[in-house]
Amino acid sequence: NAGVTQTPKFQVLKTGQSMTLQCAQDMNHNSMYWYRQDPGMGLRLIYYSASEGTTDKGEVPNGYNVSRLNKREFSLRLESAAPSQTSVYFCASRGRTPYSGNTIYFGEGSWLTVV
């Protein structure tokens, strides 16, 4: 069971370039998320999708767009990358287990550097 899979793992972009981070989950979860993690800032929510067909802004949406392609896939796009977007990006999905309520499960992360 792969859980949450995101690609690419590492990427270097030049300022102004665009790219898309891909994410897929195989846990049949309705909700999916994109977070960024920066030193001393913790995890900050960029966008989330409560269910297929819906997307909403989180804390730090500026400079990003998202697409909920289907129930499994949720992509994050940087239209014109800026050095401030250098970060580690985590995709996540939300679901229930026998041991916990609805909680969030993370992918392995994508390290993005904008030069």
Partner 1 sequence: QKEVEQDPGPLSVPEGAIVSLNCTYSNSAFQYFMWYRQYSRKGPELLMYTYSSGNKEDGRFTAQVDKSSKYISLFIRDSQPSDSATYLCALQRSNDYKLSFGAGTTVTVRA
Q: Give residues in contact with partner 1 (CB under 8 A).
A: 4, 31, 33, 40-45, 48, 50, 58, 90, 92, 94, 99-101, 103-109
Closest separation between CB of residue 77 and partner 1, Å? 21
75 versus 93: smaller Cβ distance to partner 1: 93
Backbone φ and ψ for 41, nearest 5 degrees, come out as: -110, -10
Strands 100-106 and 87-97: antiparallel
Closest separation between CB of residue 11 and partner 1, Å? 15
Amino acid in the structure at residue 41: M
19 versus 45: smaller Cβ distance to partner 1: 45
Closest separation between CB of residue 64 and partner 1, Å? 16
Other CB atoms within 10 A of residue 65 CB: 15
CA angle 107, 102, 23 (to 5 degrees): 25
> Any idea which residue has 């977007």 for tokens?
85
19 versus 43: smaller Cβ distance to partner 1: 43
58 versus 63: smaller Cβ distance to partner 1: 58
Can you say how many angstroms the Cα of residue 21 is from the centroid of all Cα atoms in its chain?
7
